[in-house]
Structure 1
């Protein structure tokens, strides 16, 4: 650990940085009905908002990561946040659906810096088992922003209208960029910066076979989470006809499952092994996906199975994210920016494509959601098999290189 950057301060800065992106992703969900009425579009078509946000969020990280390996982490974070604020203002004042999508696109383009750097900053300061503990702690801390965002968004929508949520996001983004400029220290010293070509950096990281497996696990797991987040508001608000405040409360109920999973991840890895943590996470997301799928096979939509299945899935995701992130980045102390960019970029790009695909299916029941979540679970299984195939079973802590 960097002596000049204590864990508590690092955790706080990463938490507020990632909170910007996470709150943007979920805060509008309780407002879907109001937004659809104002923009004169169907509620299901508003799933495209998340796709327009997540796809540039993912793609931009492929630029931010290698640039941060050359220029340092702090300037990249500040520039990205400024771009995000511009996009938020475009969305706030948009009176046509197309311009609102443009604003969402710019938001994703800017806050991609947070997606890449949140993983990179921990790798700059920690390694081995300490890195896993740091990732688990940060995962538990950052979960409170998506927990709070839909509740806050639902309240603001009911009292002030849906645009007040985007005013809040603009003000929050300004506060975070000020905090980063005044309180964040550079975690990548000049002597550790890489000046090789971007292509060589990506080739070096992507050539690692186990990194490929961990990447597949993270992309598929996050895609399942994003598909639920995009569809839950439509199913709960549109299909079941629940009010915005009720939707916001139900929407956040699965998130404590993620909090518990993140805590279990480090515990299982220390008491058993990293591999056991990955296996437990896989079982949980398979069970959760099945709970969501079964009622859909009979053309039904129930809040109990939606929220119950998602809670189990989120539990598994909470276990998988710290374990797979640690395993992926441990071998790359000098390419942490590039590695973090690939992980963050591909996770959000995959999630954006998955939510865009979901928007083409009629949201009449929870069958499309259940099918997509179960497909993502099987992809995680394939990624885990790939990791294990490249794994030295004699090493009790195989992810620490």
Structure 2
């Protein structure tokens, strides 16, 4: 039995963009400080990079918890309780004295932050359908381009001038601000399910998704694209700081490249939606990303001046990120097409699956780190070819 609690109150799109974007800021704001983390906690750089893997393991568990929770105690409560957990995790990061303590703080921080991703997407799926939903996801994706732009830019400036502790303190302030705004402005949009039906419904939906070839293909696609993005945020800062001799603040401006590329990708997606199916746009995005990755790989193979090498490397990254920005919003929009009646639970399973893939990707790239310019393009090439195979499987399953 379900009790409807939908409201006619208008949803503040700006609030939704901030709520879905703050987990990205939380992840990217400290990436310029990875070398500082290694130095401050007396660990190797690849151990510092594993704070990303810890983050995404917790994120995967969190999206599962909050996704199901949003169906059983409401979207609004899931969001606000998650923000409280996030704030507590950020405080622990500020107080951490050892790398183990930092891992714990990052785990709790990510578990809370994950509500921003899964609950916001559930709210969007509650209220929009068809092409309107595809276009809205693309618009939000374009707006979200500024999340990874803001993160490194702020993190680089704060980390260089005020230190790592202040970076994490800024996240405490961010969490408190979002909690206040959410308490005032976020309405309830979903349904509450009977507690007695919860266990049966969760298992039934999970089993159905596991055996649905179309859904499996899109879960893998979303995991691969997000894995590529966050592997980028794990590996590329060290390339620019250690190989290209950027300062933390200078690397922060690379966020602008991410933002512009994602906006271009979202614009291309919106433009193509007028004449092509989302599945075709996803495949085009993958091919565009492959072109960018091959360009990066070729740049790393030749002996060039530092200026030219940096310029060409950035150009390749731009093409790669534009392709991801073109494909990912359509994957998110299509993934639960077969489970529209259970958006909270289905979103929980979907997010659990793809964030485990993200965690695996960031773990593998940290193990592979050598400082070589060729590690990231080689890794990305394998993931993109797998994504190309996945979208073709999804198209055959329609």
Give the structure-2-normalised TM-score. Answer: 0.91
The aligned counterpart of 1:265 is 269
Corresponding residue of 2:389: 382
User: Which residue among 223, 246, 249 is the counterpart of 2:250?
Assistant: 246
Offset of residue 267 of structure 1: 2.2
Tell me the residue number matched to 2:3.
none
Whether the 8 Å contact between 2:151 and 2:255 is mirrored in structure 1 is no
List aligned pairs for 1:108-119, cutoff 5 A: 108-119=110-121
Residue 41 of structure 2 corresponds to which residue in structure 1? 39
Matched, 1:208 2:212: yes
When normalised by structure 1's length, the TM-score is 0.90
Q: Deviations over 1:119-144 (max 9, x none)?
A: 21110001111111111111112221
| Count of residues paired in the alignment | 388
Contact 1:235 1:363 in 2 (8 A): no
| Aligned residue in 1 for 2:138 | 136
The question of whether the paired residues in 2 share the 8 Å contact of 1:80 and 1:113 is answered with yes
Note closer, same or farther for the CA distance 1:256–1:136 as it changes in structure 2 (3 Å cut).
same
CA distance 1:371–1:63, change in 2 (3 Å): same
C-alpha displacement of 1:298: 6.0
Bigger drift between 276-285 and 29-38 goes to 29-38
Distance 1:101 1:31, change over 3 A: same
Matched, 1:97 2:104: no
Cα distance in 1 between the residues matched to 2:381 and 2:68: 34
How far apart, in 2, do the equivalents of 1:278 and 1:362 lie? Answer: 29
CA RMSD in angstroms comes to 2.2
Cα deviations across residues 185-232 of structure 1 (Å, max 9, x unaligned)? 001034899744321121233333211221121111111111111001
Write out aligned runs for 1:283-322 (5 A).
283-297=287-301, 302-322=309-329
Structure 2 Cα separation of the partners of residues 115 and 143 of structure 1: 15
Distance in 1 (alpha carbons) for counterparts of 2:390 and 2:48: 31
How far the C-alpha of 1:26 sits from its partner, in A, is 0.5
Q: Is the 8 A contact 1:218 1:320 kept in 2?
A: no
Match of 2:232 among 208, 228, 231: 228
Where do 5+ consecutive residues of structure 1 fail to align?
392-401
Contact kept, 8 Å, 1:116 with 1:345, in 2: the verdict is no
Whether the aligned pair in 1 keeps the contact of 2:90 and 2:172 (CA below 8 Å) is: yes
After TM superposition, give the deviation of residue 263 of structure 1 in Å. Answer: 2.3
Could you tell me how far apart the structure 1 residues matched to 2:377 and 2:119 are?
Answer: 32
- CA deviations 1:286-341 (Å, max 9, x no partner) are 11221222344569994334322221121111111121112112332221112322
What is the Cα deviation at residue 3 of structure 1? 7.9
Q: Structure 2, unaligned stretches of length 5 or more?
A: 1-5
Q: Aligned residue for 1:58?
A: 60
Cα distance in 1 between the residues matched to 2:194 and 2:325: 31
Which stretch shifts more, 15-24 or 190-199?
A: 190-199
| Separation of aligned partners in 2, 1:180 and 1:29 | 27
Deviates more, 1:123-132 or 1:159-168: 159-168
Match of 2:286 in 1: 282
